Amino acid sequence: MKTTLATALLATGLNLLTPAAGLAETGDQALLKQARQLFKPLPDNMATQENPISPARVELGRKLFFDPRISVDGTVSCARCHLPQLYGTDGLRKAIGNHGKANPRNSPTVLNAALQGAIAAHWRGDRKSVEDQAVQALVGPPSFGLAKYEDAIAKLKAIPGYLPLFKAAFPRDPSPFTQDNWGTAIGAYERTLVTPAPFDAYLKGNTRALSPTAQAGLREFISVGCASCHNGTGVGGTMYQKFGRFEDYWKLTGSKEPDKGRFDVTKNAADLYVFKVPILRNVVMTPPYFHDGSVTELPDAIRIMARAQLGKTLSDTQVKQIVAFLESLTGKLPENFQTVPVLPTSAFQAP
């Protein structure tokens, strides 16, 4: 179609009539460009070359994740501390495991947790991967609490319905009941637990996916300095940092017994009070906050971060805007995490 003078004029006229909209558009694009340099949208799943997934492994892992019968007292599954209805956390300051044993730290969410492949999982970075994490949970004293891996294998073998599922998930393995396969299956399931959010739509180019307040919050999150630590696909989970660079963290959080963080793992003085920078995806849904669950309200956690990590005091408006940005990180629960699976029965089955 030929462009007529009228349409050309109309176009120019519209541009002249809406200079503000034009400017806002440029501003939006600049923010989006900056955001894309710091963050990335979530992938469809978190499988890697080293840890591929298959439908049979994911389905087995999902069952194992929700099965309490393997634990020492028959009451502890992964879901005890990573509940779907609380976005993969337990709502407690510190987790409680078998026989009511207290865990020294707060339960982080399992959602998107496998993103942190490059750095080890857990607050102090004492696990290599979600697979390694699952294996070690079996013998974790406050977790499943088994004395040794053989006990876990015996408990799995006692549930006849698991044999075909393990065989299907590990077809080349003549005796598939091993703790490594347990970890591989649960890890495969965890690698499917991604929660795409409005922020992902934004990063993919839909600037309207974020409200103006959320965009203002994103701008603050970057300019104040939060994104220097909380960045990447998970908006965190890419590095370790000292908690309390400007002030002792326990003076701000009220923590009774300061945790020495990675120092207790590495015994390196430089690691005193160093913790993993947590992913902030779904953070609105996962209080209480910090490694010890010492802070209940998100605005308080944000103010504490600004003071402890950046030596800055935020205004109420800045906090409100950052909360709005963090809300845009709340995604949809994956379907295979919204409902619980039916588990193979441990009752006698006729041959």
Establish if 107 lies at the interface with ligand HEC (CB under 6 A).
Answer: yes
Establish if 336 lies at the interface with ligand HEC (CB under 6 A).
Answer: no
Establish if 265 lies at the interface with ligand HEC (CB under 6 A).
Answer: no
Q: Which residues pair with 295 in a beta bridge?
A: 289
Q: What is the nearest approach in angstroms of ligand HEC to the Cβ of residue 299? A: 10
Q: Judged by CB under 6 A, which of 42, 72, 113, 222 binds ligand HEC?
A: 113
Specify the residue, 202 or 289, whose C-beta has the smaller distance to ligand HEC.
289
Which structure tokens are listed for 295?
């802070």
Cα three-residue angle 211-212-214, rounded to 5 degrees: 65
Provide CB contacts within 8 A for 186, sequence distance 6+: 61, 64, 65, 78, 130, 131, 134
Q: What is the nearest approach in angstroms of ligand HEC to the Cβ of residue 32? A: 20
Q: Would you give the distance in Å from CA 280 to the centre of its chain?
A: 7
Q: Which residues pair with 241 in a beta bridge?
A: 275
CA-based radius of gyration for the chain: 24
Residue range at the interface with ligand HEC (CB under 6 A); choices 51-59, 150-158, 240-248, 327-335: 240-248
Q: Judged by CB under 6 A, which of 72, 81, 146, 159 binds ligand HEC?
A: 81
Establish if 75 lies at the interface with ligand HEC (CB under 6 A).
Answer: no
Q: Judged by CB under 6 A, which of 95, 153, 218, 324 binds ligand HEC?
A: 95
Strands 274-276 and 240-242: antiparallel
Establish if 305 lies at the interface with ligand HEC (CB under 6 A).
Answer: yes
Closest CA to 184 of 134, 150, 146: 134
Specify the residue, 4 or 47, whose C-beta has the smaller distance to ligand HEC.
47
Site for ligand HEC in 160-189 (CB under 6 A): 186
Q: What is the nearest approach in angstroms of ligand HEC to the Cβ of residue 262? A: 10
Q: What is the nearest approach in angstroms of ligand HEC to the Cβ of residue 313? A: 10
Provide CB contacts within 8 A for 239, sequence distance 6+: 119, 229, 276, 277
Burial code (b: 16+ CB inside 10 Å, e: under 16) for 231-266 equals bbbbbbbbbbbbbbeeeebbebbebeebbebbbeeb
Establish if 82 lies at the interface with ligand HEC (CB under 6 A).
Answer: yes
Residue range at the interface with ligand HEC (CB under 6 A); choices 11-19, 26-34, 77-85, 156-164: 77-85
Residue range at the interface with ligand HEC (CB under 6 A); choices 128-136, 156-164, 172-180, 337-345: 128-136
Establish if 115 lies at the interface with ligand HEC (CB under 6 A).
Answer: no
Q: Would you give the distance in Å from CA 82 to the centre of its chain?
A: 11
Closest CA to 204 of 44, 66, 7: 44
Q: Judged by CB under 6 A, which of 86, 119, 272, 310 binds ligand HEC?
A: 310
Provide CB contacts within 8 A for 28, sequence distance 6+: 207, 215
Which structure tokens are listed for 300?
């308080």
Establish if 39 lies at the interface with ligand HEC (CB under 6 A).
Answer: no
Establish if 278 lies at the interface with ligand HEC (CB under 6 A).
Answer: yes
Specify the residue, 32 or 114, whose C-beta has the smaller distance to ligand HEC.
114
Distance (Å, whole) CA 240 – CA 216: 27
Distance (Å, whole) CA 204 – CA 40: 9
Establish if 192 lies at the interface with ligand HEC (CB under 6 A).
Answer: no
Q: What is the nearest approach in angstroms of ligand HEC to the Cβ of residue 89? A: 8
Torsions phi, psi of 83, nearest 5? -80, 135
Task: Enumerate binding residues for ligand HEC (CB under 6 A).
Answer: 65, 76, 78, 80-82, 95, 97, 103, 105, 107-108, 110, 113, 116, 121-124, 130, 133-134, 137, 142-143, 186, 224-226, 228-230, 241, 243, 245, 275, 277-278, 280, 283, 286, 289-291, 301-302, 305-306, 309-310, 322
